[in-house]
A = this chain, B = another copy of it.
Amino acid sequence: MASIGVVGIGLIGGSIAKGLPEPATVFDSDSKSLELARAEGLRVAGSLNELVNTVDVLFIGVPFEAFDSVFAEVQAAAATREKPLVVSNVLSVMLPVEVTEPNVVFIAGHPMAGTEHSGFENAVGELFERATWVLAPTADVDREHFALLANTVKLLGVEIVVTEPEQHNAIVAQISHLPHVLAAAQILAVPEDDKADSVYGLAASSFRDSTRVASTKAELTAAMVNNNREEVLHALAKLRGSLDAFEELLRAGDDRGVVDLFARAKKQRDEHL
């Protein structure tokens, strides 16, 4: 097995490190996370430079705002390597990444798994089992390096989907970022007054489930939505179209039409999910 490294061991990076069959080597700017990682039997590198120079594949698990500077450090550190380092990331929006170091092969990646929790303490090796992992290699990535990354993520029990970054971003806006906006919007639609308790007091599984991801750390959710602004607005416009259809039927008192609309949704969901 290739030697695998992870820099940034939050929920996703930590789950990668814990999920691999052989201990990954990790680094993080947070010393507490590194202590926890050591206690769990992971190898801890002394620095990002050391990590870059001791592994074959490196996952960058840091959030959006830290990615550029960490990737710059990785490129600088890779200059002294003897063979190329395959680098991937886990961000929920695939943004352009400029590779300037010949020793770095970058392939954008995004595991379609997560929870509303964050941090290494919530990371679990089983997070990705049966999940989909999107990879978006650019045309200049050769087959061998792609295979090295693909075989590594397969060790986590995922199915790989190869796509273009633009298509990925449009789809995640609809199936991930929009649910996060809707979850928060449903909560914000409950006025924070003395009636709030009576509203939440009746909440059953439908409300709990449809608002679950509103408990995600706000900075994480906001970063993915802000970095995918146009696609999220587009997904919201499509959703408003569906809501318009429901509203028109309800206003018209068209009970049969409402049944048909719900029936179409049920058919589509049952067929695809």
Residues of A in contact with B (beta carbons under 8 Å apart) = 112-115, 131-132, 134, 161, 163, 167-168, 171-172, 174-176, 178-190, 192, 196-219, 221-222, 225-226, 229, 232-233, 235-236, 238-243, 245-247, 250-251, 253, 255, 258-266, 268-270, 272-273
Contact = CB atoms under 8 A, between A and B. Distances in A.
A182 B187 CA distance: 13
Given A167-B198, A187-B268, A214-B262, 9 more contacts: A112-B203, A114-B204, A132-B202, A171-B202, A175-B199, A175-B200, A175-B204, A182-B182, A188-B245
Given A114-B204, A200-B272, A270-B215, A185 B239 contact: yes
Contacts of A199: 171, 174-175
Contact of A222 (B210, B232, B243, B262): B262
B208 A210 contact: no
Contacts of A210: 179, 182-183, 209-210, 212-213
Tell me the number of copies of this protein. Answer: 2
Given A233-B251, A259-B218, A272-B200, A179 B167 contact: no
A267 to B, nearest CB: 9
Contacts of A211: 179, 269, 273
A176 B204 contact: yes
Contact of A188 (B213, B214, B242, B247): B242
A249 to B, nearest CB: 9
Contacts of A182: 182, 186, 210, 243
Contacts of A185: 239, 242-243, 245-246, 265
Contacts of A200: 175, 272-273
Contact of A187 (B202, B259, B269): B269
B264 A188 contact: yes
Contact of A114 (B174, B206, B245): B206
A186 B198 CA distance: 27
A217 to B, nearest CB: 7
A209 B212 contact: yes
A186 B181 contact: no
Contacts of A206: 114, 175-176, 179-180, 183, 212-213
A225 to B, nearest CB: 6
Q: Which 7 A-B pairs have the closest CB atoms?
A: A184-B265, A185-B242, A218-B263, A218-B262, A200-B272, A179-B210, A222-B259
